[in-house]
Amino acid sequence: MAQAQAPQSGDPIPSRIAETNGIMNVKSGKFLQPTSSANGAKVVQRSANDSLLQRWDTVLTEAGTWYTFENYGAGRNLGIDGASESNGAAAIIANGSSDLNQDWKLVFGGGGDYFTLKNRKSGKCLGISGGSTANGAQAAQFTCDGNTNQRWTWTR
């Protein structure tokens, strides 16, 4: 299982740091997956499967700081419904745009064993609603608190 690794000081930041990888929640062990490939589809967590909707390309958007997560199966970006800045606003996939709600900062922790995803527009972190470990639980943004439902890792 591949894990996220923090860039080392002085290392160049590539434009794609992870290609077609799964993004797994540390608490549940389940993967981010949109409910369909449609624009505006909600993003939930699901057990590992062979669906291309569980694969994400991680693309550099600006100076090694902000990234966009493009869903491989849908060709749409991870964002926040309505570009909301509210706690509990649902994660969705949407057509690519220049809106900052589709930009995410990777904040590494645990010696690079995991990362949090901080939304550029809201400053909030992506997590699983209620800290649920159930299939179908909604991914949403919340005030960053370091809980394991806001921790993620990459897998191949």
Q: What is the DSSP annotation of 97-150? A: -S-GGG-EEEEEEGGGTEEEEEETTT-PEEEEGGG--STTPBEEEE-----GGG
pLDDT for the residue numbered 46 = 98
Share of the chain above pLDDT 70, in %: 85
pTM score of the predicted model: 0.87
Q: Could you tell me which residues are beta bridge partners of residue 45?
A: 32
Give the pLDDT confidence of 80-116 residue by residue, as tens digits: 999 999 999 999 999 999 899 999 999 999 888 899 9
